[in-house]
Every structure is written in structure tokens, then in C-alpha cells.
Structure 1
Amino acid sequence: MQRLDATDNAKALVRQLAETHGDLMFYQAGGCCEGTQPQCFEKGGFFPRTNDVCIGTVEGYEFWVDKDLFEYWKHAHFTLDVTDGFGAGGFSLETPLGKTFQVHYRVFAEEELEKLPPVKRNIP
């Protein structure tokens, strides 16, 4: 059982971005400007805050979630997807390609919650 999956389209875009930019990372904040749109950066281009949570990887690249957003969504499974268009944030690496990453959520069943591995927190 895992907290994060990605669609085939999202995985293909991640591979394309990695060919251009090298190692990547994802960050999903809960702020007002970018909403909860996941952002893709070059690894080291964004630094998670203390206690932010890594919920898994997409094509080997870490997917971090804001600590407060995680508390709200800790009972949900995330599926990274991609759509055509310009998202709310605009800082993400897919933006110049006319693409936007998005996340679909579903609430875990009780038996799934019991099988989840612990999350990784950013603790300096």
C-alpha cells in the first residue's frame, strides 16, 4: 500500500522533464497563490520546510507535501495526473510545455490505512 501513484501521462511527462532538467522533485503546498497544485522543480530548486512530508516518489523523484496540507489529507491517496493548460502556480517546470500537473484524491478505506508505511518528514 502506498500514498502516491501517477498516471501513465504524468509519468511520461516526468521522464521528459528529467531528460531536460536532470533530477527533479515535487512540492504540493496549501497556500493561497498556488492553491494545492503540485509543483515540479529541479532537485534542490525548492527546499521543503521543517516537518513537511514526503509521501512517495514519481519515477524515482520525491513528492513532498506541506506539513499542514498533509494533516488535512493524511487519510487520502494521491494520484498525480497532468492536463493541458496553464495552472494556477506557473513556476512548475511543465508550464512552458502548456501542461499542468494536478492531483486526484480518494479517501483510504480503513483496512488500507492500517497497511500504510510511515511517511518521511523533513527534519533537519
Structure 2
Amino acid sequence: MVSRIDVTDAARELIRELVEKHGDLMFYQAGGCCEGTQPQCFEKGGFYPRMNDAMIGLVEGFEFWVDRDLFEYWQYSHFTLDVLDGFGPGGFSLETPLGKTFKIHYRLFTDEERQDLSPVIRNE
């Protein structure tokens, strides 16, 4: 199966730091304006996905959820979680006090990849 999400080494390192400080995590990418373009990192259970939001995979063992409407738009795109220095929009994400912000890089799946995509889990 083709994974819908991967993570860069820099993001992996930051996730390990956040786990040491906060324990289990979860990620959510909203579909609205402003913070909607930046994935948010919360303590597990610190944010509740809405009905029909899509869990597209695990990042270092932690769920990565995407807003239901945003997923419809990006369902044929591969997500790569990265991190940048700076203050992202919103400021609610756990990496913000560290002067970091998570970012997603997108690319379209190839025709071959689309034939074997890993399934998503919908919040019911």
C-alpha cells in the first residue's frame, strides 16, 4: 500500500522532542483560512476531529487527521510533514513555543500510486 503521509527528518526530530515534553500526540489539518494551511500538533485527545474528518495515516505512530472538506480537495495528494523555523498562524500548536511551525508539502500521486493507496479512516 502507498502511504498518504511521510515525515522529514527535521519534523521527526521535533516530534521526538514534543513527545518527551507532552506524551502522546495527534495532528490535525483544518480546512479553513488562516491556520488551515498549517498542520496543528496537540496532545492526544486535545482536539476532537469532526464527523467524517479523515485520518490519513500515522506520523511517528501518531494519528494525522485532515478536515473532511480539505481531504476531498487533497485526496489524491501525498502529504509530507516538515518543520520550519518561525511562528505559524494560530499559535495553538505544541511546537509554537519552540519557535517552530509544522508545514505540509504536497504532491499529486502518480496513476500507479492511486491504484494502491492506503485507506483512510473516517471519524463517525
TM-score, normalization: structure 2? 0.97
- Aligned residue for 1:97? 98
The Cα shift of 1:35 comes to 2.7
Same amino acid, percent of matched pairs: 72
1:34 is paired with a residue whose SS is helix
Aligned length: 123
1:112 is paired with a residue whose SS is helix
1:89 is paired with a residue whose SS is coil
Superposition pairs of residues 78-117 of structure 1, within 5 angstroms: 78-117=79-118
Deviations 1:44-83 (A, max 9, x none): 0000000000001111000000000000000000000000
TM-score, normalization: structure 1? 0.97
Give 5+ residue unaligned stretches, structure 1: none
The Cα shift of 1:33 comes to 3.0
- Aligned residue for 1:54? 55
Q: Distance in 2 between matches of 1:115 and 1:61?
A: 22
Which residue identity does 1:4 align to in structure 2?
Answer: I
Q: Does 1:12 align with 2:13?
A: yes
Give the alignment's Cα RMSD to 1 decimal.
0.6
- Aligned residue for 1:28? 29
Give 5+ residue unaligned stretches, structure 2: none
The Cα shift of 1:118 comes to 1.4
Q: Distance in 2 between matches of 1:89 and 1:24?
A: 18
